[in-house]
Amino acid sequence: MRNHKLRVAALVAVFLFVVGLAAVPKAKQTAHVSVPTVAPRAEDVSSIENIVQASYETISGGVGVPRQWSRDRSLYDPNVRFVYTSVNPETKTISVHSESHQDFVDGSDAFLVKDGFEERELKHVTKRFGNVATVLSSYEGKVTTGKVLTRGVNIFQLYFDGKRWWILSMVWDQERPDNMLPPELQP
């Protein structure tokens, strides 16, 4: 009799656990975007300026225009990290988000293609030591109507492997009233 009660209790516990899982809201699913591997364009990876410019070109385009994700991926080290911060305007709480190239593509493709988006560099400052470099690049992002959605600073960390430049990471923050573009990055 005792074993029977234990089995019933175990089955009830499993049932409640499964029902509880079903009641938990699911995280928003994003569509997976297939990004075939392609060889980089020699001109894209031949200099620091060219690789940064190419990174802006690949995510930009009009409404319904597919993004150049394969070209984009060819600019980045296979272990690249995209890191960005966001600030809750009400609580001022800072959140940090870190993702792979594929995460970035999956999370941004639908918006970029549906609404059209053009991101352009405003100005940059490059610091290089041997085969490594950091580029602070102010940017402006607009939708097809011309409305500026965002401005901020992308910080690219790059390295040269003797043959080409690679972007190892891209970190960015957006401009806001308490975080304006610094004078050296103003257009």
| 64 backbone φψ class: left, alpha, beta (φ>0; ψ -120 to 50) | left
In tens, the pLDDT along 24-61 reads 343 455 789 999 999 999 999 999 999 999 999 999 99
- Whether 21 maps to a domain, the answer reads no
In tens, the pLDDT along 156-173 reads 999 999 999 999 999 999
The DSSP bridge pattern shows strands 76-87 and 94-99 to be: antiparallel
Give the CATH number of the domain where residue 126 resides.
3.10.450.50
**What is the model's pTM?**
0.83
- Whether 168 maps to a domain, the answer reads yes
Q: Which domain holds residue 114?
A: 48-185
* pLDDT higher than threshold 50 for residue 17: no
* pLDDT higher than threshold 60 for residue 75: yes
**How many separate domains does the chain show?**
1
Q: What is the secondary structure of 74-142 as a DSSP string?
A: TTEEEEEEEEEEEE-TTT--EEEEEE-HHHHHHHHHHHHHHH-BEEEEEEEEEEEETTEEEEEEEEEEE
- Whether 73 maps to a domain, the answer reads yes
Name the helix (H) or strand (E) containing 15.
Answer: helix 2-23
Task: Measure CA of the first residue to CA of the last residue in the chain; give whole Å.
Answer: 81
Q: Are 134 and 155 contacting, i.e. CB atoms less than 8 angstroms apart?
A: yes
- Whether 105 maps to a domain, the answer reads yes
- Whether 169 maps to a domain, the answer reads yes
Query: Which pair of tokens denotes residue 54?
Result: 């190419």
- Whether 34 maps to a domain, the answer reads no
- Whether 23 maps to a domain, the answer reads no
**In Å, how far from its chain's centre is CA 171?**
9
* pLDDT tier, 10 (very low <50, low <70, confident <90, very high otherwise): very low
- Whether 43 maps to a domain, the answer reads no
* pLDDT tier, 115 (very low <50, low <70, confident <90, very high otherwise): confident
